[in-house]
Chains A and B, each alone.
Chain A
């Protein structure tokens, strides 16, 4: 068997050489003078911008054609990636954050095998590996097979060994289309040439200082925070613009910068949506905190494939909470919802980074904003179908969660239904219960306050403001004092004692959350009577129905 595989390997190698000698039928030359190389790219393929935090992938092109997996029904657009590997790279680690609490480990890819092991999707292995020369540059080529628990694919990578760095050009296609596409891919891979380099292989990225900045921000004044965020934003924008291929443009509005690859009309709608949500938040929730919301970067991709390719960064570039809000033209109406949600989320964090709202408030506000859309220049909030159904069903089955309970429900209590989800098919009763579960109802009270009778009812028209201010006060007071662990607990002396503490530790955070909710509740509703609650319950039940 082994002899056969070696023989196959040789035969396959010869076939690659024979085919590779021919240039692809049509190809465009990509030249990168900064990094010092050229490569033929299949004609008609589009260049994908490289994300700001990406450290290793320096070029991406995507096929203009989609290929279908005839068995699984998947579709796939082949891509070319050029990646830089440094065989001599060393791992580094540094303490980050104000207390040195975080360790930032940088473990650069050294080799192609490293990259496949780390970033490959699905069961995979290197099926071939050979040394060769391409246009005078020592090269190693690899074939990768993706077989188990994945859509069967084949990858081919050529690693060109320059003096100080390895350039890798890599293609991946569906296995079914490998034979047909092989000539084109190999033609491209064998066209790679080194040219005099005018820049550096070490490129600036947006990933640095993420942790440090996040931790130190809390110590700054609102103005200082806003300035630090703005500096970071400008740097990210500059890097994003430097990495923009042809065909993209940049548009600015009062609070946002949009990098767009779609028509002006859709772009204008997205900007309008973002600004409208921002203005609504500024007007409706000024009490949320004393922070100064900053600008954000939006990116509109031509389609979902372009968006996916853009967002697909190498895993060792590190996860980054980018300021970019990314969507695609294919998202259509749903894109506006995502923009609304993302813009609002950033606004909340900028306004008060230390405030973590309880589930009824967080979920309620997000669900509300998610329904916002601009029509004829005006922001409107459409009905939330799922919430309406949840409230109606719950009211009918007498399982409506009343505001007094909702305001004191912790996240784990709210989402308890997910803990007990089994692996079998849910029964009709389970499905009904899920539709009107407490978590499905969570957004009801916010909608009551913003669009229902709560908006004008004297008891509740200022409730949202009072609650948020009280919440902020209680959270700040809690943060200022040390955790109440009792008087420096001595180590347990027996296993029984240890078990008791283990049990109580398991509920520590749940109890703490509960105490916090109660503290806020008591503060806000200190003057409320049972009659007040009865009136609100009645009003809310009517609203739910």
Chain B
């Protein structure tokens, strides 16, 4: 990884302006480590190694640890000599470069070369975000195709190989004849467009030929990317038990969620399972708050549908993590495709599966369960007493889930997440919006904190702008409007950002504030 040296960079900027007369008209650019590129009128390198991006409506500061590459065409200013000796050298036509004093022409040439290379790397990074220019790489067991930066992709490739080794060994899985194709996208919109997944799906494993796995990099929640990766890979690895067997939905998804909570230590090369899926736990807790508990009988009969991901996960966690059940449950799962006492039926093409009632009976027999009601009670108690939200991710999930309908609960969890050091910019945005009416200064601090984490986030600039303007006074109004306009500059193509900008500038009416009962059926429809 290249670390720009301030002196070098200042020289680069100065020379570039000299050598490229038209450079002032070209946009400068920055490539972030998360793969995003930002074009702006001027990029200024700062003495501390960071960067200042100058837009028409304000400037954005980027710390050096966020930036991979920067290209700047305009000069920042001439070198100021420290003493008479340096002054004399400058007068002889020498300039400082790379720790030495060299003729200006030599420095100019080197700097121009570096500038061109930086620009080229930025353009290449942009180009690789097009699927036709995707990177392709083979590892021992997978063929990766991806559009995110290679340094990021490498981490996921290692995760998957580590997971593959662990799972195939633990479950005695036969080695597949060919590598699985894995497609990894740099953002959600590209994932939707190229993978063909409907909105709402965040990853999938295609289990019929050509088999492949598709998911995307969520830069705001990298941990979620890992969860999805583990989840979808688990489908693939379990499918290797028998390619002609379709594992019934509830146990397939619940087990995938269980493994979605795994952690991989790349240094120790160690997998730890049994981690909490706190987002799912939050959903279960919300159901319980509503007075709903899903019946075990329906789960075992494969009748819960979506709740296989949430309640199903809690049940599998209960089974796998409870010593008296763990081994038997694993054996039941492993033998689904082959156990002779389980009736299988045609599913799709030449595939077979186990129908709901057969699955339930098979489970009870394999686990030695004679009283489903008693087991259900035990399961509910496990959820209530053993599954707790503890991590930043859990607090974040609980806070987002509570949303505007349960603001007190949301505030508690937002506060906990912040105290635990959340680095999710979206959290600071939502938290700030939630408390802005009563605590405007605190809200503004939260937006600023979010911007420290993600300085080019247009929604945070919008929120900061709107609430700064709402403080009143000419100065705040002007500053606020400028921040709002800056948000539009940061994301000029997005219809959502544009709408928010229009609403913030009062060019359209805002949506009605949530109050009273929620929207009912037929509301808002013709």
B-binding residues in A (CB < 8 A): 1-2, 5, 91, 93-95, 100-103, 105, 107, 117, 120, 122-128, 148-150, 210-211, 214, 321, 356, 411, 420-427, 483, 485, 492, 494-495, 498-499, 502-503, 505-506, 508-509, 512
What per-residue 1/0 map shows which CB atoms of B504-526 lie under 8 Å from chain A?
00011101100011101110101
Q: List 11 A-B contacts (CB under 8 A).
A: A5-B132, A91-B498, A107-B498, A123-B193, A124-B194, A148-B196, A502-B290, A502-B405, A503-B291, A506-B290, A509-B518
Contact B508 A95 (CB under 8 A): yes
Contact B196 A509 (CB under 8 A): no
How far is B132's CA from A123's CA once the two chains are assembled, in angstroms? 13
B305 at interface, CB cutoff 8 A: yes
CB contacts (< 8 Å) of B355 on chain A: these are 424-425, 427
Closest Cβ–Cβ distance, residue A515 to chain B (whole Å): 13
Which residue in A1, A107, A148 is a CB contact (below 8 Å) of B214?
A: A148
CB contacts (< 8 Å) of A494 on chain B: these are 408
A149-B195 CB under 8 A given contacts A127-B132, A485-B517: yes
B406 at interface, CB cutoff 8 A: yes
Which residue in B197, B249, B517 is a CB contact (below 8 Å) of A508?
A: B517
Contact B193 A125 (CB under 8 A): yes
CB contacts (< 8 Å) of A509 on chain B: these are 517-518, 520-521
7 additional A-B pairs beyond A422-B302, A422-B308, A509-B520, beta carbons within 8 Å, are A100-B509, A148-B206, A420-B303, A420-B304, A424-B359, A495-B412, A502-B290
What per-residue 1/0 map shows which CB atoms of B41-71 lie under 8 Å from chain A?
0000000000000000000000000000000
Give the interface SS of chain B, mostly helix, strand, loop or mixed.
mixed
By beta carbon, the residue of chain B nearest A118 is B193
Most buried by B among A356, A502, A508: A502
Contact A505 B509 (CB under 8 A): no
**B230-288: which have CB < 8 Å to A?**
248-250
CB contacts (< 8 Å) of A502 on chain B: these are 289-290, 405-406
Closest Cβ–Cβ distance, residue B287 to chain A (whole Å): 10
What per-residue 1/0 map shows which CB atoms of B284-302 lie under 8 Å from chain A?
0000011100000010011
The count of residues in chain B whose C-beta lies closer than 8 Å to any C-beta of chain A is 59
Closest Cβ–Cβ distance, residue A497 to chain B (whole Å): 8
Contact A117 B298 (CB under 8 A): no
Which residue in A1, A125, A210, A506 is a CB contact (below 8 Å) of B526?
A: A210
Contact B130 A422 (CB under 8 A): no
What per-residue 1/0 map shows which CB atoms of B178-209 lie under 8 Å from chain A?
00000100000100011111000000001000
The 6 closest A-B pairs by CB, nearest first: A123-B196, A424-B302, A149-B196, A422-B303, A423-B249, A125-B131
How far is B507's CA from A126's CA once the two chains are assembled, in angstroms? 36
How far is B198's CA from A149's CA once the two chains are assembled, in angstroms? 10
Which residue in A93, A420, A426, A498 is a CB contact (below 8 Å) of B499?
A: A93
Contact B526 A214 (CB under 8 A): yes
CB contacts (< 8 Å) of A127 on chain B: these are 132
Closest Cβ–Cβ distance, residue B390 to chain A (whole Å): 18
Contact A424 B517 (CB under 8 A): no
Contact B356 A107 (CB under 8 A): no
B357 at interface, CB cutoff 8 A: yes
How far is B213's CA from A149's CA once the two chains are assembled, in angstroms? 12
Contact B195 A498 (CB under 8 A): no
Closest Cβ–Cβ distance, residue B218 to chain A (whole Å): 19
Which residue in A95, A107, A126, A423 is a CB contact (below 8 Å) of B132?
A: A126
A498-B408 CB under 8 A given contacts A103-B511, A107-B495: yes
B33 at interface, CB cutoff 8 A: no
CB contacts (< 8 Å) of A492 on chain B: these are 408
A-binding residues in B (CB < 8 A): 130-133, 136, 183, 189, 193-197, 206, 212, 214, 248-250, 289-291, 298, 301-305, 308, 345, 347, 353, 355-357, 359, 405-409, 412, 495, 498-499, 502-503, 507-509, 511-512, 516-518, 520-522, 524, 526
How far is B14's CA from A470's CA once the two chains are assembled, in angstroms? 83
CB contacts (< 8 Å) of A125 on chain B: these are 130-132, 193-194
How far is B308's CA from A91's CA once the two chains are assembled, in angstroms? 42
Contact B509 A425 (CB under 8 A): no
CB contacts (< 8 Å) of B520 on chain A: these are 508-509, 512
By beta carbon, the residue of chain B nearest A349 is B526
Contact A94 B250 (CB under 8 A): no
Contact B132 A105 (CB under 8 A): no
Contact B356 A427 (CB under 8 A): yes
How far is B197's CA from A498's CA once the two chains are assembled, in angstroms? 37
Which residue in A1, A321, A356, A422 is a CB contact (below 8 Å) of B301?
A: A422
Contact A103 B508 (CB under 8 A): yes
Contact A423 B308 (CB under 8 A): yes
CB contacts (< 8 Å) of A426 on chain B: these are 356
Closest Cβ–Cβ distance, residue B7 to chain A (whole Å): 35
How far is B448's CA from A280's CA once the two chains are assembled, in angstroms? 66
How far is B305's CA from A505's CA once the two chains are assembled, in angstroms? 24
Contact B521 A95 (CB under 8 A): no
A123-B356 CB under 8 A given contacts A93-B508, A423-B249: no
Closest Cβ–Cβ distance, residue A4 to chain B (whole Å): 11
Most buried by A among B355, B408, B412, B516: B408
By beta carbon, the residue of chain B nearest A127 is B132
Contact A422 B509 (CB under 8 A): no
By beta carbon, the residue of chain B nearest A114 is B493
Closest Cβ–Cβ distance, residue B412 to chain A (whole Å): 7
By beta carbon, the residue of chain B nearest A422 is B303
By beta carbon, the residue of chain A nearest B198 is A149
By beta carbon, the residue of chain A nearest B212 is A148
Closest Cβ–Cβ distance, residue B401 to chain A (whole Å): 11
A93-B249 CB under 8 A given contacts A128-B132, A356-B522, A424-B355: no
A424-B511 CB under 8 A given contacts A123-B196, A485-B517, A495-B412: no
